[in-house]
């Protein structure tokens, strides 16, 4: 059992799945930095300007103020930080929209590649072979219908 697990892992790694996942994680981390910067440095300042200079990351609902006793904090402030949630929501919407656009573009390219008659994009060999097989089967069926139809 132990060796089977190692063999399965080797097969997984060799097929490229692990490399694809690693590349996706690296690109995702870099993209996350871009989106966070876009939200904090491009989108939030105009929104803060419109709302009177308030910084959204500092927006919160205070449930209990901090209590000071002899210049020392006796009880910490308890607050719901909805501003950071708002920024995270904007991050999410940007990422979701970007992924949607990328997937839509990839599906469009894939559809074109799956069409063996479209010579603008190289069709994968397996699709091309299946298309040729389908054409030959259709010709064979036409021929058989013609031959069998003549005998009746």
The separation between the first and the last C-alpha atoms of the chain, rounded to the nearest angstrom, is: 63
pTM of the model: 0.53
State the residue for tokens 């870099």: 30
Report residue 151's pLDDT band, with 50, 70 and 90 as the boundaries. low
- 52 versus 79: the higher-pLDDT residue is 79
Report residue 152's pLDDT band, with 50, 70 and 90 as the boundaries. low
Is the pLDDT score of 150 beyond 70? no
Is the pLDDT score of 89 beyond 80? yes
DSSP string for 113-139: HH-TT--SSPPPHHHHHHHHHHHHHHH
> What is the reported pLDDT for 91?
80
- Helix (H) or strand (E) holding 6, with range, is helix 2-14
Class of the domain covering 2-114: mainly alpha
Find the mean pLDDT for residues 87-111. Answer: 83
CA angle 74, 84, 23 (to 5 degrees): 125
Tokens of 86: 């708002």
- Sketch the domain layout of the chain as residue ranges: 2-114, 122-152
- 33 versus 56: the higher-pLDDT residue is 33
């Amino acid at each position: 059992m132990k060796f089977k697990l190692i063999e399965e892992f080797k097969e997984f790694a060799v097929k490229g799945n692990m490399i694809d996942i690693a590349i996706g994680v690296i690109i995702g981390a870099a993209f996350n930095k871009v989106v966070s910067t876009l939200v904090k440095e491009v989108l939030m300042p105009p929104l803060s300007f419109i709302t009177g200079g308030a910084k959204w990351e500092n927006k919160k609902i205070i449930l209990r103020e901090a209590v000071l006793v002899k210049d020392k904090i006796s009880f910490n402030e308890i607050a719901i930080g909805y501003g950071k949630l708002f920024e995270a929501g904007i991050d999410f919407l940007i990422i979701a929209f970007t992924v949607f656009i990328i997937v839509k573009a990839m599906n469009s390219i894939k559809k074109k590649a799956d069409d063996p008659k479209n010579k603008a994009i190289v069709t994968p060999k397996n699709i091309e072979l299946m298309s040729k097989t389908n054409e030959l089967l259709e010709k064979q069926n036409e021929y058989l219908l013609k031959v069998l139809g003549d005998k009746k």
